[in-house]
Structure 1
Amino acid sequence: MKIKLIEDGNLTSWLRLLLIVIGTVFVVVAIECKLEIFWARVFLLLGFAIALIGGMTSRAKLLHIKPFDNSYKKARDSYKTKDDKNNE
C-alpha cells in the first residue's frame, strides 16, 4: 500500500489536519511546560510554522488552488517561440 501525501496538487486532508494538530501541540508544550526559554521559543515558532503550513494548504483547498502542482511548467513552455528553440 502506497501512502499519498499530495493529491490533485494539494496536500491530502489527513496530512493537513495532522500538521495543524502537531503545530498546536508544539505551541501548547511551549506555553504550558517548564522549558528553558530557548527551547520554549523554538517550540513556539516551530509550532506556529507547522500549523501555518497546514492552515494555508487547507485554505488553498477551499479556494481550489493547487500550490504543489507542476502546471506552471506547461505555461512557461507555451511562451517559447521557434527562435528560442533554435538558439538552444
Structure 2
Amino acid sequence: MKIIRNGNFAPWFRILLWATGIAIAAASYFLLSGIEKFVGVVIGMIVLATGTYAERANMLHLKPFDDSYKKARKSYERDDDESKK
C-alpha cells in the first residue's frame, strides 16, 4: 500500500485525509471548549485542506509530491559545469 502514487496521494489516502479532517473539526467543535476547541478545529481544517489540495491537484493532473525537482536541479548543475569550462 503506497501513500504516494504517481506524484500525488493515493485516492484512498485523499479520502481518508478529507474524512479525518472533518471528524477532527466536528468532534473538537462539539466536544471541547475554550482554546482546545479552537486548536482542534484548526488542526482538523488543516488536515481537510491537505486532502482537498491533493484532490484538486489530481483533477488537474498535477504532481505536487513528485521528486522531479531533483532531475531539474541535476540538469542545471551540468549546465553550470559546462559554462565554467
Q: Please, which of 10, 13, 28 is the counterpart of residue 11 of structure 2?
A: 13
Cα deviation, residue 65, structure 1 = 0.7
Give the structure-1-normalised TM-score.
0.84
Aligned-pair CA distance for 1:67: 0.9
1:71 corresponds to 2:68: yes
Pick aligned residue for 2:42 from 41, 45, 66: 45
Unmatched runs of 5 consecutive residues or more in structure 1: none
Percent identity over the alignment is 36
How many equivalent pairs are there?
Answer: 83
Distance in structure 2 (CA, Å) of the matches to 1:42 and 1:22: 15
**More helix by percentage:** 2
Q: Which runs of 5+ in 2 are unaligned?
A: none
Alpha-carbon offset, residue 76 of structure 1: 1.9
What is the rounded CA distance, in whole Å, between the counterparts of 1:78 and 1:24 in structure 2?
42
CA RMSD of aligned residues (A): 1.7
User: What TM-score do the two structures reach when normalised by structure 2?
Assistant: 0.87
